[in-house]
Amino acid sequence: MAPNNISFSDAKFHLAKLAQPFTNFKENCALEIRLIKEDAPTLSWRIRSLDPTENLDHALTKMAELNTQGYNIYTTVNPTSSDGPLEKACNDEDITAATYLFLDADDKGVAENIIQDDQLPYDFIVVTGTQPFLRAHFYIQLKRPTQNLPEWRTLMHSIIKAHACDVSAKNPSRVMRLAGFSNHPSKRKLSKGYKTELVRIYNKEESYDFL
Q: What is the pLDDT of residues 134-143, one digit of tens each?
A: 999 999 999 9
Residue of 82, 83, 6, 46 whose CA lies nearest to 175: 46
Kindly state the DSSP code that residue 52 receives in the 8-state scheme.
Answer: T
Q: What is the pLDDT of residues 104-113, one digit of tens each?
A: 999 999 999 9
Across the chain, the runs of DSSP E, i.e. the strands, are 29-36, 43-48, 72-76, 80-81, 98-105, 124-129, 135-146, 175-177, 182-183, 197-198, 200-203
For residues 127 and 161, give the distance between their C-alpha atoms in angstroms, rounded to a whole number. Answer: 20
pLDDT at 1 over 60: no
pTM assigned to the model: 0.93
